[in-house]
Chains A and B, each alone.
Chain A
Amino acid sequence: MSYRIPIGPYHLALEEPYKIELDCQGERVTGATLKVGFNFRGIEWLAERKNITKAIALMERVCGICSNVHSMTFCMALEQIGAVEVPPRAQYVRVVVAELERLHSHLLWAGIAAELIGFQTLFMQVFRLRECVMDALESISGNRVNYSMNRIGGVNRDIAHPEAVRQAVSQVQDAVSRTLIPLFTTDQTVAARCRGVGKFSLAEAIAYGAVGPVARASGLDTDIRRDHPYLAYNALDFAVPTRPEGDVLARIVVRALEIVESCRMIDQALERIPAGPLHAGDIYTVPPGEAVARIEGPRGEVFYYVRSDGSDTPTRVKVRTPSFANIPTVTAMVRGSDLADVPLIQGALDPCYSCTDR
């Protein structure tokens, strides 16, 4: 017997609203339809009606988790249009904050994944670790969510206590290497719950335009930090973890391994950070022009297109967030799966509906 199950827009497990309608044959999912837009704020519309200084603060509100990457990518697009040289120290500071943001995002997700699997103890352990990262971000910026670090041509603040940040990151790296990765890669309960669930092939990853850990867990070896280096990433040694399996377990493992790589990058960046200015001066306009800026956010590639007519207000700001690219992939992942696996498959995307809707 076939039937349709509407789930959402409000969910018990997710704080953000979206709707999925599942077509089922018995307990088997045969198709899915998604509905988004419940958080739509018209941020692109707003950005084209504010001066660029205000728009930087606005773009930081695209996402509540990866807020920094949005203001940073927006600034990078404007810097490209204006041929603004970002001082080396500022580039390193941006790397450190971006990787700390990836750490807290991945740890948040790992905690939620542990809870979805039914592993409450691990959830507690991961969230305790995440607090170390949140404390480090707060020590740098004074904030736990919107850091206000970026300005056109550099950053607003320095890293006052680099050794404390290195110590916190070392603690995270140690705990993740000793506890989280072995659990996610060898624990039989995790494997039984996640292996072979929510399969998504490499060909599907290309056709859907999947990005970040979702793409890399399907064998798509892509990472803007390595493939099209920006800031100081080409001076850092790091690996890009990929897995060929394309299932929930692969997505878990890729993110866990990325936590370690981010820790390594932060450590290297803080060790090599050069002395010098933090920004290129006060910049309130850029000349006429257009540019695309892309960075590797925690959930994958963030794409910004910005066009300027030379005034202080951008004439076009296009934001393509990673979740905008990844959320449609759930329709392929749930097809043929058990109904009971749908929450886990959705969770393994690490979806952000707020930044998808903008």
Chain B
Amino acid sequence: MSAAEIRNQIGGSWAERDDGWWLPLPPEQVCAAARTMLAGGARFVALVASPGSQGEFGLSWHWDLKGTLLSVTTTLAAGRPAPSIADIYVGADWAERETRDYYAITFEGRDATPTLMLRAEDAPGMMLSPAEEGRP
């Protein structure tokens, strides 16, 4: 499948930027988009979480197909879980565990989200700590 075919199959309003194609989706449609990416042979690249000003988080999942970056973004209201794609892309497992470490975001669709960079006894959300003392 080509990047254009993947975009068509997922649908929605893709925007082309210098760094690739971006699509905003509601959280409940992210897993279906990930399945289409896998079926199309796209490689999972990264999951990026960014905190907003009202406690919400912006999340973006990034894939690559033959050099074209395909990015799906969503906004999570404060306290809402994010959809897990770790059962679709094994490579997303570490990305989700790191996101929990950094922002205390939980993922639904997986049994547990163990720590990755932090120790098991550390509280998640280290990136939200404003002070040096909060840094593990």
Question: Given contacts A40-B136, A45-B126, A328-B94, are A209 and B45 in contact (CB under 8 A)?
Answer: yes
- Residues of chain B with a CB closer than 8 A to A224's CB: 67
User: For chain A, what secondary structure do more than half of its interface residues adopt (helix, strand, loop), or is it mixed?
Assistant: mixed
A222 in the interface, Cβ–Cβ < 8 Å?
A: yes
Across the interface, name the chain A residue whose C-beta is closest to B127: A45
- Residues of chain A with a CB closer than 8 A to B62's CB: 292, 303
Residues of A267-298 contacting chain B, CB below 8 A: 291-294
A127 in the interface, Cβ–Cβ < 8 Å?
A: no
**What string of 1s and 0s marks CB contacts (under 8 Å) between A288-329 and chain B?**
000111100000010101010000000110101000110010
Question: Given contacts A40-B118, A42-B135, A292-B62, are A207 and B69 in contact (CB under 8 A)?
Answer: no
Q: How far is the CB of A130 from chain B (nearest CB, A)?
A: 30
Most chain A beta carbons < 10 A, residue from B68, B90, B91, B135 = B91
A45 to B131, CA, bound (A): 10
Residues of B48-95 contacting chain A, CB below 8 A: 48, 50, 60, 62, 64, 66-69, 71, 89-95
The tally of residues in B whose CB lies under 8 Å from a CB in A reads: 38
Residues of A228-258 contacting chain B, CB below 8 A: 228
Do A208 and B18 have beta carbons less than 8 Å apart? no
Q: How far is the CB of B89 from chain A (nearest CB, A)?
A: 6
Q: How far is the CB of A44 from chain B (nearest CB, A)?
A: 7
Q: How far is the CB of A128 from chain B (nearest CB, A)?
A: 36
- Residues of chain A with a CB closer than 8 A to B42's CB: 206
A37 to B117, CA, bound (A): 4
A40 to B71, CA, bound (A): 27
Across the interface, name the chain B residue whose C-beta is closest to A215: B43
Do B45 and A80 have beta carbons less than 8 Å apart? no
A19 in the interface, Cβ–Cβ < 8 Å?
A: no
- Residues of chain B with a CB closer than 8 A to A324's CB: 94
Across the interface, name the chain B residue whose C-beta is closest to A303: B46
Across the interface, name the chain B residue whose C-beta is closest to A37: B117
Do A303 and B90 have beta carbons less than 8 Å apart? no
Across the interface, name the chain B residue whose C-beta is closest to A211: B43
- Residues of chain B with a CB closer than 8 A to A45's CB: 126-127, 129, 135
Do A207 and B19 have beta carbons less than 8 Å apart? no
A227 in the interface, Cβ–Cβ < 8 Å?
A: yes
Q: How far is the CB of A223 from chain B (nearest CB, A)?
A: 8
Which of B67, B95, B117 lies in contact with A357, CB distance below 8 A? B117
- Residues of chain A with a CB closer than 8 A to B107's CB: none
B20 in the interface, Cβ–Cβ < 8 Å?
A: yes
Do B19 and A80 have beta carbons less than 8 Å apart? yes
Q: How far is the CB of B124 from chain A (nearest CB, A)?
A: 13
Do A40 and B89 have beta carbons less than 8 Å apart? no
Most chain A beta carbons < 10 A, residue from B46, B69, B127, B129 = B46
Question: Given contacts A228-B69, A305-B46, A357-B117, are A222 and B126 in contact (CB under 8 A)?
Answer: no
A165 in the interface, Cβ–Cβ < 8 Å?
A: no
B38 in the interface, Cβ–Cβ < 8 Å?
A: yes
B116 in the interface, Cβ–Cβ < 8 Å?
A: yes
- Residues of chain B with a CB closer than 8 A to A206's CB: 38, 41-43
A339 to B83, CA, bound (A): 37
Chain B residues packing against A (C-beta within 8 Å): 18-20, 38, 41-46, 48, 50, 60, 62, 64, 66-69, 71, 89-95, 102, 115-119, 126-127, 129, 135-136
Q: Which 5 A-B pairs have the closest CB atoms?
A: A227-B67, A209-B91, A228-B67, A320-B46, A209-B44
Chain A residues packing against B (C-beta within 8 Å): 36-37, 40, 42, 44-46, 48, 80, 205-211, 215, 220, 222, 224, 226-228, 291-294, 301, 303, 305, 307, 315-316, 318, 320, 324-325, 328, 332, 357
A-B contact pairs, 7 of them (CB 8 A): A37-B119, A80-B19, A209-B91, A293-B19, A301-B64, A315-B50, A318-B48
